[in-house]
Structure 1
Amino acid sequence: MAKYLISFPSAAMIVPDGELEAVGRDARAVIEDAKAAGVYVFAGGIDEAVPPLLVCADGSFAEGGYPWAPSLDGGFTVLELRSREDAIAWAARIAKACRCQQELRVFGFDPQS
């Protein structure tokens, strides 16, 4: 089994007026289905009201992320699944619930984790 990241940036989620409540309900329903299926690992969204910190190896830090990288925002779901086909199916369900396309990535296997 592999862990898959299903995500979208904030700008991708354009919800028509009056549908935000339905989107939340539909997204929570998919997450509940993932929990019931035993494939749920984690889900959530980046709190964009809290700025990122760039932390150095010596413990010093500065507000802001990598200046050369695009900002990291949006919603994320991590599921542990048997196949890429299963991951695509779950990503499609999340895309339908959120009313936006989802990016699918697989985490590299780490036998120590």
Structure 2
Amino acid sequence: MGIFDSIKKAIFGEAKAETVAPAPSSAAPGAPAPAGATATPSQSVDVTAILDEAVRVSGQKLDWKHSIVDLLKALKIDSSFAARKALATELGYSGDASDSAAMNIWLHKAVIKKLSENGGKVPADLLD
């Protein structure tokens, strides 16, 4: 499982099954839905509510809306430089991985965008 898959599982796994938008399937029409895909595609998961709650439960002052490190910490996922570098590679980062500030900004935007593409409801201002 990739790091982004861990992020998705941490967020979508926290939501009730009926609120998770199923991923597009390559199954033939009329084929049974994959396990856990009980929602209609128009439903989504409120990423803000889940991450805000994860921050509250953590007891730390984390700014997940602006920091990929804090987003990962809120989800209890490895936020080390090596893990972020692996996530950047997984998501197709083509910049200089040794420039951690630029990579972190790109990573945060890429993760938020991918969460949105996978059925997550995210604040519009984070999709810029």
Tell me the TM-score normalised to structure 1 length.
0.26
Return the index of the structure with the highest Cα Rg. 1
Which structure features the higher share of helix residues? 2
Between 1 and 2, higher relative CO (CA 8 Å, sep ≥ 6) is seen in 1
Which structure features the higher share of strand residues? 1
